[in-house]
A and B are shown apart, each in its own frame.
Chain A
């Protein structure tokens, strides 16, 4: 793409409408005429009318826009990228994280800190996992890189707390075991592909 095209590219489709403004008066006499015309045509009162109309609409026709925030909340998108969630396996209920450490490595803000050990059954287990939300920039790289879809972003956006550690421990982010049936997966980039089951092949025993 040449620079010309690059500058002129049409970002989206906006329906800009040009206001039909009067030509800017140049001479004093023109200015004077404009002022007289505007004062006598009572343009200012139109402004007053608009605000009064809005007020009447708001007060008597239930057109108030305010959401009383802590008591009412606006719905958010299902894939909103707020505080992370750690997912569980649906069948066993065990957490999905395999302790690969990819998320810790990729995090550009260096917010994730984790530690692993080998459990009794020689499976890698997470002994410590914290995200410092004072540093996290909610870039989503951790969720993207995770091979197990174990870490995803959730809809918890009220991040004020008395303690910095309040909701950043592994247990806090992990889906509670009794909520397992409500755990949601979303299609789209980064999720399990739709034909995942079809693509499963037997591991060739020749290895």
Chain B
């Protein structure tokens, strides 16, 4: 599944946030391993490690034993805590071993998109718990009764604000008929970024329902714009859809009004037949929603002028909106 070129493209576009999460895992892993090593270490091992950190230039001139003595030693942990630490390390190693697989999921026939996303995220959520356990143990603050549950997978509902902000992107391969955007709405928080790679017949604007003022939403057929998903400082949804689908970008930083934020580049005809659970009316509704949001309001010179869009901008946006309506055959229905 990772060999799908669109998945590869998405992984490449999302390289930075993925690398950031990976560095986070790695950082926690290294600190925990070092702590564990210190628990068992004898003096020579400690000194050798200190000498190694000094590099060749320093090691040749600096007394490693005395240098090591300057480093704050690790505190001693009891057996229960060390067991917990080992289990936490286990979790982190498992994550690490998955490589890119940690960030890619697939909705197999019969499965539900929402459930697949939830399970991918709760696996990732496990990492947060494990990281916190490593820190608690190192700080001598681990209390089994209180903290044991941190070592279980953690559903998204239980993630803290900061964990939601540290979330890595997840790329999901899904068949067109299984795309149900409403299943995703509850993940719009923190820095959660979900990218759907869609195969087969699909509703033309499935993500239109996810457009809310602070969420970045992208529909693309060729992967263009995925790099903006990576850069956006907030939650984002994107779908790489089969050719012919509606394409648009909703970028919250571009303004206060929906029409300032939404750029629609293509609206197709509404499909004539139901797709999966989506009726033709539902699909048409999504297209209309898109056109509605993109439409520039009429310029009413309000008292004092406050709130009115700048003339030039509104002209251009108006033209796009009417063109869109003409393209989609929706002109008469609104």
Q: Are A and B part of the same complex?
A: no
Measured CB to CB, the residues of A under 8 A from B are: none
Measured CB to CB, the residues of B under 8 A from A are: none
